[in-house]
Structure 1
Amino acid sequence: MNHPPPRTLRTVTGSLDPEAVRGPVLPHEHLVLDLDRAGDGAAVLAPERHGAAVTGELDELRRRFGLSLVVELTCRGMGRDVTALARLSREAGVPVVAATGWYYEPFHTPEVDTADVEQLTAVLVREIEDGVGATGIRPGVLGEIGSHGDVPTPSETKVLRAAGRAALATGLPLATHAQLGRGGTAQLELLTGEGLSAGRICIGHQDLLDDPGVHRELAARGAYVAFDTVGKESYQSDRTRLRLLTALVEAGHADRALLSCDISRHGYLRAEGGQGYGHLFEEFLPRLRAAGADDDLVDLLTRRNPLRFLTGANVEEN
């Protein structure tokens, strides 16, 4: 059954009318996660250690820039903690959408090895309908569903197919992790092959792929194209990101682009000398405006596009 998209945003603190979101949205972030495989604790955002820094940044962005929603894409096997997300959301005064799914293969949880696509789909649908564990908190997005390389591995293929079927069954949108921007076309083929509309799919990390032709192809097929690692200069310069985004806009696909920072370790927090969640607003958007973007384009990129991705709704212009 192809379930229609939700009419309201499903946040960790309750339902939210998309029309009530009057400020910008960060559609790909992490507030709590644990990706530590090296044992050095670097790829971690622990609520007990880093929560105050996280909420401090979000509260400041809410007051300075009107930040109105964060989509938190920490899923199964990534250290997800929806109870902590609810607490951080309340403390910062910013609504947060939680996620479900599986990341790319090194972070797959044991059931991925033993279950088939149908069984994995059932796991996701149950979590979406009943809530995560005993919390009653229901995810509002599938993501970040991962693969690495130009073609997903068999395990990643299984996870992508299950997530696509769960999106069909529940109406939730689906955001992917395309490692270093690669493999997005293959992800889209797999997901649409399960019957999922491209307009309910966001292909992740495309700002790490210096290939405007791929971006145009994804957008022309109706998928959202995520420029979601803004400020991560060690992976890609913001100068290149700006060039790629401008090319996509000039090709007529401004309504398919999403912008975020993907803060994924404590060293990226402002309190620890990093660029922080606010880099998009403080550094990148001023450069976009200097390149010719007006208020309407900025509102489209930072508010209307993510809300349409999440709910299918065309919200009013600010």
Structure 2
Amino acid sequence: MSTTTPHGTPHTLRTVTGPLAVEAVQGPVLSHEHLVLDLDKKGDRAAVLEAGTHGAAVTAELAALREEFGLSVVIELTCRGMGRDAGALRRISREANVAVVAATGWYYEPFHPHDLDGAGVEQLTETLVREIDGGIGATGITPGVLGEVGSHGDTPSEPETRALRAAARAAVTTGLSVSTHAQLGHGGPAQLALLTGEGLPPHRIAIGHQDLLDDPAVHRDLAAAGAYVAFDTVGKESYQSDDVRLRLLLALIEAGHADRALLSCDISRHGYLATEGGQGYGHLLRSFLPKVRAAGVDEDLIDLMTRRNPLRFLTGASVEEI
């Protein structure tokens, strides 16, 4: 039976190669990754994934995960000011045979490009809607999500507030969802209040990097409000141990909120690639999920967190629909 929206049209994802029906997605979805980006601010080129230099390794990793685990979709959250390259995403997607959802929006303030300078919320909203409707640059590729729209600290700065409000308004206008960057896990409640204050329903919002915040009460509150809680830096042991991540995830599940958990690795520099000795995009599937299973989580909940939840987040579908 076809999954439908309230208007009766099938739920589809906007991918870099065209529309994809959710029914076609039978394998896991990585809910927060980067395949091409440039966050270098120091000149050491560590915080980059360059299409020309690293694209082949990225493609090979995704193709291997497709073969081994059935990886179906990557939600790629490199947005404006982060070195986004939609054309490269399309090439990687085609060669790896893994669907990729591209993003738009603005990251947190240290990486804001000049197009935010002095621009009001309405102007920023128009910029995003124009890109969502018309495509990224000359590629014609339309974003399928807003993110990772960022802030740092417990409350967003003034420019971050404008960017978040614009993302929410653009999401309401276009029917897309918003994924956030909460620096080191902080500021999620303030982000949620800002986004919902613009009329965006909480189930169209994913609050990012919550596995970096050792505060199960915040996670419960976000989930109880209806937002998705992203445990999306799995494997980044220099920020947080996977043992702590597992404890936090199990607490969220035990509180009855497995239907609000999103999981991913947030590969954001070339040193994280498997070919360079890093954990790679497969760390969630190869290393972390076996620990989740060993803790007693069954396969239905694994599928919920790694496939159905991200599909529901992207489309706004209910638990009953997907």
TM-score bucket of the superposed structures, by smaller chain:
over 0.9
Q: Is the 8 A contact 2:219 2:252 kept in 1?
A: yes
CA drift at 1:316: 7.9
CA drift at 1:192: 0.5
Which of 3, 9, 12 pairs up with 2:16?
12
Aligned counterparts of 1:6 and 1:30: Cα–Cα separation in 2: 28
Q: Which amino acid aligns with 1:281?
A: L
Aligned counterparts of 2:39 and 2:321: Cα–Cα separation in 1: 38
How many matched pairs? Answer: 316
Aligned counterparts of 1:137 and 1:6: Cα–Cα separation in 2: 20
Q: Which amino acid aligns with 2:111?
A: F
Which of 204, 215, 219 pairs up with 1:200?
204
Q: Counterparts in 2 of 1:160-239, with a 5 A limit?
A: 160-239=164-243
Change (3 A) 1:141 1:192: same
Question: 1:65 aligned to 2:43?
Answer: no
Aligned counterparts of 1:169 and 1:317: Cα–Cα separation in 2: 23
Aligned counterparts of 1:167 and 1:317: Cα–Cα separation in 2: 21
Question: 1:155 aligned to 2:159?
Answer: yes
Aligned counterparts of 1:6 and 1:262: Cα–Cα separation in 2: 29
Aligned to 2:283: 279
Question: 1:129 aligned to 2:133?
Answer: yes
Aligned to 2:88: 84
Q: Which runs of 5+ in 2 are unaligned?
A: 1-5
Question: 1:48 aligned to 2:42?
Answer: no
Which of 139, 144, 169 pairs up with 1:140?
144
| Percent of aligned pairs with the same amino acid | 74
Which of 239, 249, 254 pairs up with 2:253?
249
Q: Is the 8 A contact 2:10 2:21 kept in 1?
A: no
Partner SS state of residue 226, structure 2: coil
Aligned counterparts of 1:92 and 1:217: Cα–Cα separation in 2: 38
Aligned counterparts of 1:166 and 1:6: Cα–Cα separation in 2: 22
Q: Is the 8 A contact 2:77 2:147 kept in 1?
A: yes
Aligned to 1:240: 244
Deviations 1:184-224 (A, max 9, x none): 00000000110110000000000000000000000000000
Partner SS state of residue 16, structure 1: strand
Aligned counterparts of 1:150 and 1:40: Cα–Cα separation in 2: 30
Q: Which amino acid aligns with 2:64?
A: E
Aligned to 1:306: 310
Aligned counterparts of 1:313 and 1:211: Cα–Cα separation in 2: 28
Which of 110, 114, 118 pairs up with 1:110?
114
Partner SS state of residue 132, structure 2: helix
CA drift at 1:307: 0.3
Aligned counterparts of 1:34 and 1:109: Cα–Cα separation in 2: 13
Alignment RMSD: 1.5
Aligned counterparts of 1:63 and 1:211: Cα–Cα separation in 2: 36
Change (3 A) 1:193 1:315: closer
Change (3 A) 1:168 1:267: same
Aligned to 2:3: none
CA drift at 1:111: 1.4
Aligned counterparts of 1:315 and 1:222: Cα–Cα separation in 2: 12
Question: 1:99 aligned to 2:70?
Answer: no
TM-score normalised by the chain length of structure 2: 0.96
Q: Is the 8 A contact 1:12 1:138 kept in 2?
A: yes
Change (3 A) 1:303 1:316: farther
CA drift at 1:313: 2.5
Deviations 1:91-149 (A, max 9, x none): 10100000000000011111111210000000000000000111110000000000000
Aligned counterparts of 2:136 and 2:74: Cα–Cα separation in 1: 18
Deviations 1:15-70 (A, max 9, x none): 00001000000010000000000110000000100011101100000000000000
Which stretches of structure 1, 4 residues or more, deviate above 3 A after TM superposition?
3-6, 314-318
Partner SS state of residue 139, structure 1: coil
Aligned counterparts of 2:138 and 2:319: Cα–Cα separation in 1: 33
Aligned counterparts of 2:320 and 2:126: Cα–Cα separation in 1: 36
Partner SS state of residue 114, structure 1: coil
Change (3 A) 1:308 1:116: same
Aligned counterparts of 1:274 and 1:133: Cα–Cα separation in 2: 32
Change (3 A) 1:6 1:274: farther
